[in-house]
Structure 1
């Protein structure tokens, strides 16, 4: 599940930390959107997580 934040460091963006696991490796990616698109944040974060999972054979951390 992404961890959202709203305008924590700057006015305008909403962000989410997206957990990513590739085998035993755990990492985090950030997703940022403009505040008016806050309703899309969870969907976009899920897409990022799934997309990284699909790339995992060629993903180098």
Structure 2
């Protein structure tokens, strides 16, 4: 999966539940992610990848 280069991104402001932010901060403290932004970017990439795979599966089913 390709990764975005530093500086070619767009800022996205979102409101997140405190419990979710706390959970993200825990992951950062455990060194799972470098920082909260890294965790959010990873989650977004994985979500997009998941839905693209689902779309491809549906296309294959329609071709059958």
Give me the TM-score of the superposition, normalised by structure 1.
Answer: 0.41
Higher relative contact order, structure no. (Cα contacts within 8 Å, ≥ 6 residues apart): 1
Structure number with larger C-alpha Rg: 2
- Bigger proportion of residues as strand: 1
Give me the TM-score of the superposition, normalised by structure 2.
Answer: 0.39
